[in-house]
Amino acid sequence: MISIRISSKDKVFLRWLRINRKDRACRILLTSRSKEEINVLFMNNLHNRFQKFQKTIWFNIFCYFWTGFFSFLAFAPVSLTHFVWIAPFGFFWLSLKYHGKYKQLFYQGLIVGIVFYTISFHWIVHMSITFGNFPYMVAVLILLLAGALFSLKFPIFMMSFSFLSGKVGRHSIWVAGFCGLLSELVGPQLFPWYWGNLAAGNIILAQNVEITGVYGISFLVFVVSYALFQSNPWYWKEILHSKEKRKQYFRFVSLPVLLLLSFIVSGFVLYKKWENVKPVKSLSVLIVQPNAPLSFRDGRELKESIEALMVRIEKLTDEGVKKMEKKPDLIVLPEAGVPFFSAHNTTVTTVTRRLYWHRFDSLMFLLANRYKANVFFNEIDAGYKGEPSARNLRYYNNNVLYDPNGDRRDSYQKKFLLMFGEYMPFDFLYELSQQTGRFEPGLTHNLIRYYTPADKDKSPKGLHLGWNDTENLSHEAIRSYYEAAKTEVQVSGKFLPLICYEVILPEFVREFRTAGNPEFIVNLTNDKWYGTTTESDQHMELGRLRSIELRRWMVRSTNSGISANIDHLGRFVGDKKTGLMTAETISETIEVIDSPPTFYTQYGNIVPWLMLFLTGLYYLNLLIGIRRGKRT
């Protein structure tokens, strides 16, 4: 027998491989020191261990957290986009383990969804406690239920993928993309997000949403991810040493590589095209982020709290304007910037329900006149649906614009309401969450006109009035005081108004095309319910793609962060973003792009639906051919 001296390093290596130092493998390893044999031994041992691991429950848990964790890293605010390409591996592993066991695949998909929600949408707990006053354990239960109910696209993907990949065999390269696209298009969601959103952190790939929508990038993610998954390191040696295996492998990966390259090239071409488009005009915009309270439950009187808020809004606006090179053309306040009140003086808001507050109305009027600027803000409005009666009384989440003379102009009532936030699907649920609103959706998709004053420096004969003056002066008296400051105004253009949740719904935003071609987008949002969690970053990231789809700049004004301006390429203008839970302003000159409606605006998701139809047709034909072959 050969006497072999084993170093401590070799002992550790052998112990890891579970090899007896006296057997043949040990002698090969330590005498010949063949690098190739060592690698083969290492990979075979690793492969065997992984196969044993796959049979355990710990492997399932590993898959759940693999997909959940890497998806979270690819998503905002971490935004390590490259991890999106390996995040679906958990689906593929579980689909292989439970191949053909559709009941198991359904349950496994639900568990992945729950884990994903727990990691990425953990802010649901904070929202449930803050908004619904639910106990912590109930809030956790709500999170788990949301993960199960609104992640059905996960089990849909796993079941369809297991079925098709088992039927079509070597033709399975597009199966992952087909099933991923199918699950995204038909899977119900409360807080819509798509795999394409995770990849769209890459600014070049993101440009493709102008044509394919976010679903097209989701298709790309699953095709490329499956190609990477099938590039199994266990088979690298066979691929390198077998010409036939190499041919098979390159045939397999060539289409995903070509697809990825086509997205990169088209994204780059679109990026350069739109980067060189010259704006037809520009506007000076001031965003005011007041950090208004969600409610007044801190011991102070309502009057004291609301007074402090209104003083803060006036002060922030004045300080923000002083930092600007010229007076603003548009001042934007967020959703719920002044909560619980209306500036709309109607019989319903003054008599039936006391929503109207003349001091709120007066402050918006004063800001418009002080800077001869358009002021766009949010309020609660009310009206009757049919004949005037208590039964027909309805509330609306309303955005309205005051022109540079302070006159009330166009308004937009939020059309797509958030379930459990602005309404309950069943009346008895209101007893569980007293703070949930009883809002009615608006009826129209309308644009908002904004105005240019003939004389931007025209002012009253005396000094400008301020917030403190509104306590002793009626709104009519204030309007009379500014009568001498009136100037001619003319319509300058139109913008697309979106309230909060609406900005993350690409199909909904498209519906505004019937109202005309807007010059830019304004999104008013209140994310304070979510505190300093990741929700604000995710909300902004999901909405960012609307700027690319429409090729319009976006002004995003939030109550407590994150406010920003986004250009038509999906970039944050000047890298300026406000903080969370802060009262501050952000000013910028935004550009107006004069271009016809984009392909996505006109045709929507026709490309992903076409991809789904053609791929489905191909596989249907293939399955029919396979069945006929079996019969013969």
Beta bridge partners of 394: 383
Beta bridge partners of 393: 384
Which of these, 179, 174, 223, 217, lies nearest to 199 by C-alpha position?
Answer: 217
Q: Alpha-carbon torsion 620, 626, 630, 632, what sign?
A: positive
Side-chain-side CA neighbours of 139 within 13 Å: the count stands at 17
Q: What is the dihedral angle through the alpha carbons of 621, 223, 59, 77, rounded to the nearest 10 degrees? A: -140
- Measured between alpha carbons, how far is residue 171 from residues 13, 253, 293, 586 in Å? 41, 12, 57, 53
- Assess whether the previous peptide bond of 77 is cis (omega < 30° from 0): yes
* Cα–Cα distance for residue pair 147/220, rounded to 1 Å: 25
Bridge pairing between strands 281-289 and 584-592: antiparallel
Beta bridge partners of 451: 491
Query: Where does residue 469 rank: exposed (0-12), middle (13-18), buried (19+ CB within 10 A)?
Result: middle
Beta bridge partners of 362: none
* Cα–Cα distance for residue pair 338/378, rounded to 1 Å: 7
Q: What is the set of active-site residues?
A: 335, 414, 500
* Cα–Cα distance for residue pair 563/580, rounded to 1 Å: 9
* Cα–Cα distance for residue pair 73/536, rounded to 1 Å: 16
Q: What is the dihedral angle through the alpha carbons of 502, 504, 508, 511, rounded to the nearest 10 degrees? A: 90
Residue whose structure tokens are 């072999």: 4
Q: For the packed helices 606-631 and 175-186, what is the interaxial angle rounded to 10 degrees?
A: 130
Whether the Cβ atoms of residue 528 and residue 117 lie closer than 8 Å to each other: no
Three-class secondary structure of residue 586 per DSSP: strand
* Cα–Cα distance for residue pair 552/549, rounded to 1 Å: 8
* Cα–Cα distance for residue pair 198/194, rounded to 1 Å: 7
Q: In what order do the strands lie in the sheet with 564-566?
A: 448-453, 489-499, 521-525, 554-558, 564-566, 572-577
Whether the Cβ atoms of residue 223 and residue 259 lie closer than 8 Å to each other: yes
